């Protein structure tokens, strides 16, 4: 079914629901204990052309439309319902789950980065330092999503206590969702709130830095094996600058793992995120890797633990090209 969908002509994938709001408010949840325990991606698909899935010249808030129309189309063909408001109901079956992993396969990207300045505007343009001034000792996704992420990390991270391994958790807080007891010589957290970072047990050091003011990462070239970013890539207003920096500081072959759900601080997330759906988000993050340069083709993994019932969880990752 997913493969059939990929062959749909443009008019069947137009942004019928592009104005729908798919990013559910990031509501505080009670603090949870990080559990430990899986997932990786699969086979190829057919050549996909960005221009056949997206609408670049659409006005602000009428952007990609891939997600909504993609899922609506899928849902109607698969007879599983969905197609209305919130993002969750689109992800309702295992067949859809595999479809999201197809989104980046064989993507033919346009020559130029397709997004405009206005795509990175937010409803709340006040300084992020104000918004994040008070600590939030909460989790932003539900326990099954956290467990799924931790399980994924446990499969792809270097083994705990491997000499010489350095990890950067970008947009970090008091939790990083790493496997229980996971340790490396150097685990750096970079975020906005010192109180939160101080309480994060996995970090060996932390830095408070507003990446939307200063996207330069204060680290040496080729110094990290892994970069993580959990449910926060949607707050970056200068993503290309930051992804270029990520490429610079990763060791060749090092991996950057961006994970996200369908929740966000709506007023602080970029316009292009709040006006699109889950599959679009995969394309948006994939485009950051592609246009930043220095990375292998990005890949998507759907680690949603209970599709349609609990928070979805998606990974878009890429390795620094060994020739970069």
Ligand X SMILES: C[S@@+](CC[C@H](N)C(=O)[O-])C[C@H]1O[C@@H](n2cnc3c(N)ncnc32)[C@H](O)[C@@H]1O
Half-sphere exposure of 285 (CA within 13 A, CB side): 28
Judged by CB under 6 A, which of 68, 78, 175, 316 binds ligand X? 175
Query: Does the footprint of ligand X cover residue 285 (CB under 6 A)?
Result: no
255 binds ligand X, rule: CB under 6 A:
no
Q: In this chain, which stretch among 56-64, 92-100, 228-236, 304-312 interacts with ligand X, using CB under 6 A?
A: 228-236
Per-residue x/- marks for ligand X, 207-226, CB under 6 A? ---xxx--------------
DSSP letter at 51? G
Percentages helix, strand, coil for the chain, rounded to the nearest 5? 30, 15, 55
53, 147, 184, 193: which one binds ligand X (CB under 6 A): 193
Given a contact cutoff of 8 angstroms between Cβ atoms, the answer to whether 65 and 10 are in contact is no
232 is a contact residue toward ligand X (CB under 6 A): yes
What SS3 state is found at 67? Answer: helix
Give the whole-angstrom CA distance, residue 256 versus residue 152: 13
The CB-of-212 to ligand X minimum distance in angstroms stands at 4
C-beta of 232 vs 276, nearer to ligand X: 232
φ, ψ dihedrals at 10, nearest 5°? -50, -45
DSSP 3-state assignment of 193? coil
153 binding ligand X? (CB under 6 A): no
230 lies in the binding site for ligand X (CB under 6 A): yes
- The answer to whether the CB of 273 falls within 8 A of the CB of 97 is no
- Nearest approach in angstroms of CB 119 to ligand X is 17
At which residue do the structure tokens 């705990």 appear?
Answer: 160
Widest CA span in the chain: 53
Report if residue 128 touches ligand X, rule: CB under 6 A. yes
Q: Tell which positions 39-98 bind ligand X, by CB under 6 A.
A: none
Query: Is 149 strand, coil or helix?
Result: helix
261 forms part of the interface with ligand X (CB under 6 A): no
For residue 172, state whether it binds ligand X (rule: CB under 6 A).
yes
Q: Which of 69, 166, 173, 275 binds ligand X (CB under 6 A)?
A: 173
Spacing of C-alpha 36 from chain mean position: 21
Question: Under the rule (CB under 6 A), what is the footprint of ligand X?
Answer: 26, 128, 132, 139-140, 171-173, 175, 191-193, 210-212, 230-232, 235
């Amino acid at each position: 079914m997913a493969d059939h969908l990929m062959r749909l002509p443009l008019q069947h994938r137009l942004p019928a629901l592009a104005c729908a709001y798919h990013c559910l408010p990031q509501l505080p949840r009670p603090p949870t204990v990080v559990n430990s325990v899986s997932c990786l991606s699969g086979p190829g698909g057919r050549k996909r052309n960005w221009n056949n899935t997206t609408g670049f010249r659409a006005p602000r808030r009428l952007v990609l439309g891939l997600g909504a129309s993609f899922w609506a189309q899928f849902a109607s063909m698969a007879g599983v319902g969905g197609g209305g408001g919130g993002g969750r109901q689109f992800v309702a079956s295992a067949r859809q789950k595999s479809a999201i992993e197809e989104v980046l396969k064989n993507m033919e990207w346009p020559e130029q980065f397709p997004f405009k300045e206005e795509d990175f505007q937010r409803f709340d343009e006040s300084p992020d330092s104000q918004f994040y001034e008070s600590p939030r000792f909460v989790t932003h996704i539900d326990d099954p999503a956290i467990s799924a992420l931790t399980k994924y990390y446990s499969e792809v991270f270097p083994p705990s206590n491997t000499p010489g391994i350095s990890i950067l958790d970008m947009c970090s807080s008091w939790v990083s969702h790493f496997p229980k007891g996971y340790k490396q010589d150097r685990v750096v957290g970079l975020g906005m709130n010192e109180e939160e970072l101080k309480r994060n047990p996995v970090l060996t050091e932390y830095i408070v830095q507003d990446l939307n003011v200063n996207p330069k990462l204060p680290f040496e070239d080729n110094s990290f094996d892994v970069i993580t970013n959990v449910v926060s890539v949607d707050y970056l207003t200068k993503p290309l600058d930051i992804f270029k920096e990520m490429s610079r500081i990763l060791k060749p072959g090092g991996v950057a793992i961006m994970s996200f759900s369908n929740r966000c601080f709506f007023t602080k997330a970029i316009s292009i995120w709040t006006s699109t759906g889950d599959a679009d988000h995969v394309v948006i993050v994939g485009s950051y890797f592609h246009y930043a340069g220095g990375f292998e083709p990005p890949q998507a993994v759907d680690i949603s633990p209970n599709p349609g019932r609990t928070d979805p969880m998606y990974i878009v990752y890429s390795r620094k090209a060994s020739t970069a």
